[in-house]
Amino acid sequence: MSAVVVISVAAGFWLFAGAEPQQIQYQTQTLARGDIESVVNTAGTTRAVVTVEVGTEVSGLITELYVDFNDDVSQGQAIAKLDDRSYVAKLRQAQADVVMAQASLAQQQATLTKSNTELARAERAFKRQQQLVQQKLSNQSELDDALAAFETAQAQILLADAQIQSAQAQLLQRNAQLEQAQLDLDRTTIRSPVNGTVIDRQVDTGQTVAASLSAPTLFTIAQDLSQMQIEADVDEADIGKVQQGQQVRFQVDAYPGQHFRGSVAQVRKAATNTNNVVTYKVIINAPNQQQLLLPGMTANLNIVRGQQTQVLRVPNAALRFKPAGSSNSPAAGERPDQAAELINSLQLNAEKAAKVRRLYDTFRDNLQQARAQGADNPMADARQAFSRERQKLQNELQMLLSEPEYQQYLKLTDERRATRQKGATGTAAQLWLLDNTGQPQAVNIRIGLSNDEYSEVLSGEVKDGDAVIVRAVRVD
């Protein structure tokens, strides 16, 4: 009996000890000053600013090549020669045709002169017959013959004029054919259209090229290799951070220890969708005075969004930390009912109002879900998730509202943002510090420039040396 009691007491003690709640240990990191550089990482391909593919508009056998790879050429310089014997023969034939057309025109002009002479003789004969008829010295039949001869001479004049016009048209046609033959002969000499460097040659001496529906490419000439461009593909999540004029650092595999610099020249608006990944082309100007960069190299780029030196930095892990049971955002209860504000401002009917309410409810639910996932994943970017959900909401509202209503919505959004940020800069955020009792205490701050590790502290009740909570661990 006593053994059973001892066992029962021991078991009860073990259960009581095992039920003791676990303690939470907070890991902190000290705020300090340092440098922050925010960049967008991507990759691109180098190419010449202007690249010209030189082809041929006539067919023939390559008889001469005057340039080779890497040769510098000037505009108008002969770079290749085609066999021109058939084109010389066509030119001579065209010249002969022109001479024949000129002779035909001269013949028709002589015929016109002869017809004018016949017309004058027939006119005199007709007038003489008229006088003889009036004097009763000739009969009507001879007068009619003279009139017919006169009208026939007039018709011959018209015919001679028409034949001259035909001969002139034929001469113009022969001259055009002569110009075409001369042009084809000139095209047998391939010339460079620009000043530059030959970066590719696709033909050899003795090779036959055929110009049919499209001109075959013989050479590729880069106009100026001292100035290169890089075509980079930037993800849609980062394209909003890229602006014209931003500085760029990049490296190429050929010179791994050397950093090159450039600047953003253009952000193209046409999107490319590859396997459901949307990217945009960003054009970067890269000086290449030493001509180390060659067309086609892969460049690993850092597009610099901004730089700050010796500013108070907070670890991004501290911005993502939230104690269990705390609010998901600072001042969450202070946010107005944006759906009701939009419905009242636009005076929407009941059907549209219900749809707008559902869109905002879905937006809020998706945002809470993203924040919950971010709490479990320290590497998640809460601001990127918010931007993505906000853009999705705007797209759906644009499809639902009319154009004037959507413009009014954008105006309300801008006014709300201006009111929220009036007198303050940066983005609202929240940190957690340990109070005197060792419990988390919230501190609201505003942050500015940020990168993958740190964010700049613009304002708030924190200072250099404060220990902020970055992680909570349950310990026995």
pLDDT single digits (tens) 229-240: 999 999 988 888
Helix (H, G, I), strand (E, B) or coil at 219: strand
For 263-290, the pLDDT digits (tens) are 999 999 999 998 888 999 999 999 998 8
| Length of the chain measured in residues | 476
**Interval 314-334 mean pLDDT:** 67
How far apart CA 66 and CA 79 sit, in angstroms, is: 5
Q: What is the pLDDT of residue 6?
A: 36
Could you write out the DSSP letters of every residue in 89-121?
HHHHHHHHHHHHHHHHHHHHHHHHHHHHHHHHH
Residue 433 pLDDT more than 70?
A: yes
Q: Which residue has the higher pLDDT, 333 or 23?
A: 23
Mean pLDDT of the chain: 83
Backbone angles phi, psi at 121, to 5 degrees: -65, -45
In this predicted model, which residue has the larger pLDDT, 122 or 10?
122
Q: What ranges do the domains of the chain cover? A: 83-188, 334-423
- Band (428; pLDDT cuts 50, 70, 90): confident
When comparing pLDDT for 215 and 219, which is higher? 219
Average the pLDDT over 203-226 and give the result: 85
pLDDT value at residue 421 = 54
Pick left, alpha or beta for residue 55 (phi over 0 → left; psi -120 to 50 → alpha; otherwise beta): beta
Any idea which residue has 């015929």 for tokens? 111
Report pLDDT for 408.
86
* Contact call for residues 67 and 79 (beta carbons, < 8 A): yes
Question: Residue 88's pLDDT is what?
Answer: 94
Phi, psi (rounded to 5 degrees) for 340: -65, -40
pLDDT at 409 over 50: yes
Instruction: Give the mean pLDDT of 183-189.
Output: 92
Residue 429 in contact with residue 447, Cβ under 8 Å? Answer: yes
Using one digit for the tens of pLDDT, what is the confidence trace for 34-77?
Answer: 898 888 899 999 999 888 999 888 999 999 999 999 899 999 99
pLDDT surpasses 50 at 5 = no
Whole-number Cα distances in Å, 251 to 45, 110, 235, 297, 301: 11, 81, 20, 10, 7
Burial of 136 (0-12, 13-18, 19+ CB in 10 A): exposed
Q: pLDDT band at 1, cuts 50/70/90?
A: very low
DSSP 195: S
Q: What is the pTM of this model?
A: 0.56
Give the whole-angstrom CA distance, residue 324 versus residue 301. Answer: 40
Summarised one tens digit per residue, pLDDT across range 350-391 is 888 888 888 888 888 887 787 777 655 555 566 677 777 888
Looking at residues 208-226, what average pLDDT do you find?
Answer: 84
Confidence band for 21, pLDDT divided at 50, 70 and 90: low
Residue 461, pLDDT > 70, answer: yes
Q: Which of 264, 274, 318, 269 is nearest to 29 (CA)?
A: 318
Give the lowest-confidence range in 4-13, 155-164, 234-243, 442-451. 4-13
d(CA 352, CA 343): 8
**Of the candidates 55, 367, 39, 103, which has an alpha carbon nearest to the alpha carbon of residue 203?**
55
